[in-house]
């Protein structure tokens, strides 16, 4: 097992050259956790131990803090963005059981056993836009942007302020080394909301979240799917919000190799080995692309190897191991 050293990930997030190749992932699937640890894969401790066994310097785990109450989704792999709509009026807004972050239990951040040298990278229970869409439904939100902009404003302010307090509480723990604001914004062609609406309602709260993270002395990472390049939102991520790093890349939008060449001097690049590529290519092809990405970035820094999004349960385990072994040299 490779000894974790969070200072290496910190160097990447500061766009410096780490002492050795660094791997980064948002989350692993439960069956992979079990394979790496022999434990039940959905427990926080199994998730921490799986990251350590795979050779990461950081870990994520779920189950701490709070979430925005929503109806249970159906059990299929996909669902409608209108499925869980709960708020479409001021009456709904007032009746909704808004969570009290101050009453939430964050003790897990201090009680879970973190290996020496490792730190937790905390995330939110989704971000401002994702929660806005979940609570209102996508169709309702689109209409409300024209018919009830005051309600949309109240929603984003309530969600945003709740998330800021969430990060404040997470960052009280010495086990936390960085924080990620996870808020999917769109798809291959464009954002889900117009760039002007993102700038009006969503970006101000990401800016406040980043400031909260920076004020606590930690780096801030953005995770967001979607095309933020053609519409110019990548400039807001870098120059307005001032994120230290960005995660989530897709070959059909912008291959990570090109993203690195364009932006690595201004923001750290995390992951980027496209999930479709991870699923469809051979372990040899995946290893080769991963090794070439590490060689491309070795002398310039600001890069950690990983998937374009996360290791879903349909990613073949042997392909995942081929990717990370290019950085760790370990046999899994």
- Residue 146: predicted pLDDT: 97
Residue span of the structural domain in which 228 resides: 6-328
3-state secondary structure of 104: coil
Please state the rounded mean pLDDT for residues 315-326.
Answer: 98
Residue 281, domain member (yes or no): yes
Residue 54, domain member (yes or no): yes
Q: Name the phi and psi angles at 330, rounded to 5.
A: -85, 155
pLDDT digits (tens, 9 = 90+) for 226-277: 999 999 999 999 999 999 999 999 999 999 999 999 999 999 999 999 999 9
- Residue 61: predicted pLDDT: 72
Please state the rounded mean pLDDT for residues 191-208.
Answer: 97
Name which of 246, 257, 253 is nearest 223 in CA terms. Answer: 246
- Residue 291: predicted pLDDT: 98
| pLDDT bucket at 63, cuts 50 / 70 / 90 | low
Residue 228, domain member (yes or no): yes
Please state the rounded mean pLDDT for residues 148-164.
Answer: 98
Separation between Cα atoms, residue 315 and residue 22, nearest integer Å:
21
| pLDDT bucket at 318, cuts 50 / 70 / 90 | very high
Residue 1, domain member (yes or no): no
| pLDDT bucket at 76, cuts 50 / 70 / 90 | low
Question: Which DSSP string corresponds to 217-285?
Answer: T--EEEE--S--STTSHHHIIIIIS--SEEE---TTT--HHHHHHHHTTTSEEE--B-HHHHHHS-HHH
- Residue 58: predicted pLDDT: 98
Handedness of CA 119, 114, 216, 306 (dihedral sign): positive
- Residue 84: predicted pLDDT: 67
Residue 223, domain member (yes or no): yes
Q: Is the pLDDT of residue 77 over 90?
A: no
pLDDT digits (tens, 9 = 90+) for 112-150: 999 999 999 999 999 999 999 999 999 999 999 999 999
Mean predicted lDDT score pLDDT of the chain: 95
Separation between Cα atoms, residue 26 and residue 181, nearest integer Å:
11
Q: Is the pLDDT of residue 72 over 80?
A: no
Q: Is the pLDDT of residue 75 over 60?
A: no
The pTM assigned to this predicted structure is 0.95
pLDDT digits (tens, 9 = 90+) for 2-60: 999 999 999 999 999 999 999 999 999 999 999 999 988 889 999 999 999 999 999 99
3-state secondary structure of 169: helix
The rounded percent of the chain whose pLDDT value lies above 90 is: 89
Q: Name the phi and psi angles at 201, rounded to 5.
A: -110, -35
Residue 15, domain member (yes or no): yes
Residue 173, domain member (yes or no): yes
Residue 194 CA neighbour count, 13 Å, CB half: 8
Domain count, the chain: 1
pLDDT: which is higher, 331 or 289: 289
Separation between Cα atoms, residue 229 and residue 191, nearest integer Å:
10
Separation between Cα atoms, residue 106 and residue 111, nearest integer Å:
9
Name which of 262, 264, 219, 265 is nearest 241 in CA terms. Answer: 219
User: Residue 288 belongs to a domain with what CATH number?
Assistant: 3.20.20.210
């Amino acid at each position: 097992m490779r000894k974790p050293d969070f200072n290496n990930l910190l160097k990447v997030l500061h766009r410096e050259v780490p002492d050795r190749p660094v791997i980064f992932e948002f989350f692993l699937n439960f069956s992979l956790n079990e394979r790496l640890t022999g434990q039940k894969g959905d427990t926080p401790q199994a998730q921490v131990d799986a990251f350590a066994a795979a050779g990461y310097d950081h870990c994520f785990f779920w189950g701490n803090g709070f979430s925005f109450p929503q109806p249970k989704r159906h059990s299929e792999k996909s669902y409608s963005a209108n499925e869980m709509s709960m708020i479409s009026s001021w009456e709904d807004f007032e009746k909704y059981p808004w969570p009290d972050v101050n009453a939430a239990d964050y003790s897990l951040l201090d009680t879970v056993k973190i290996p020496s040298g490792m730190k937790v990278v905390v995330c939110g229970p989704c971000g401002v836009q994702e929660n806005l869409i979940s609570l209102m439904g996508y169709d309702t939100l689109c209409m409300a942007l024209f018919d009830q902009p005051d309600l949309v404003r109240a929603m984003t302010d309530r969600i945003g302020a709740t998330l800021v307090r969430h990060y404040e509480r997470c960052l009280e723990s010495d086990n936390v080394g960085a924080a990620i604001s996870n808020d999917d914004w769109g798809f291959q062609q464009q954002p889900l909301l117009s760039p002007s609406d993102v700038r009006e309602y969503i970006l101000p709260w990401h800016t406040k979240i980043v400031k909260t993270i920076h004020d606590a002395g930690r780096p801030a990472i953005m995770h967001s799917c979607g095309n933020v390049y053609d519409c110019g939102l990548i400039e807001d991520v870098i120059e307005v919000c001032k994120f230290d790093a960005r995660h989530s890349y897709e070959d059909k939008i912008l291959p990570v190799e090109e993203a690195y060449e364009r932006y690595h001097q201004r923001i750290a690049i995390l992951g980027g080995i496209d999930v479709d590529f991870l699923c469809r290519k051979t372990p040899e092809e995946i290893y080769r692309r991963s090794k070439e990405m590490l060689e491309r970035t070795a002398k310039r820094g600001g890069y950690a190897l990983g998937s374009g999004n996360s290791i879903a349960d349909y990613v073949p385990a042997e392909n995942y191991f081929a990717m990370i072994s290019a950085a760790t040299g370990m046999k899994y």
